Amino acid sequence: MSLTFNTSSLKWAAPEGQAIVKITNPTTTRFAIKIKTSNVDTYKTTPNTDFIHPGYTLNLVVLRSKSPMKEDKLAINYIESESGETDAAEVFKKPGIRPNVYMITMRCEETPPAPGAP
């Protein structure tokens, strides 16, 4: 068993905005997460690294700054972690680790003008 995610894609109707990805840990194991994106100038996430304890849900906030609209990717890297570890980023620096990766597609979709709009 591993983490569960509430979505596999994020869509914005405008070139900027905010979305939330819910990451749930239904297991009895603590996980460390590390977030990466294909476009670091456009997307910021909070948190970037963290631990998700057994039975908890983390709200990952994804902020999109104004930029040209194109498809991008968000990679959520996660791996089991020991209870004594205090820095989630350090978990990913251990030699030979192979984290699981959950990919989310992110895109902007322009809203068509309302009928009768100029």
Establish if 88 belongs to a structural domain.
Answer: no
Residue 1, pLDDT score: 64
Q: Starting at the earlier edge strand, list the strands of the sheet with 4-5.
A: 4-5, 17-24, 57-64, 43-46
114 in any annotated domain: no
- The CATH number given to whatever domain includes residue 25 is 2.60.40.10
| Average pLDDT over every residue of 4-30 | 94
Report how many domains make up the chain: 1
Give pLDDT tens digits for 57-86.
999 999 999 988 889 999 999 999 998 999
**Residues ≥6 apart with Cβ < 8 Å to 30:** 51, 52, 53, 54, 80, 81, 82, 83
Q: Is 118 inside a domain boundary? A: no
What residue type is 63 in one-letter code? L
Question: What is the residue range of 20's domain?
Answer: 4-83+94-108
In a domain, 99, yes or no: yes
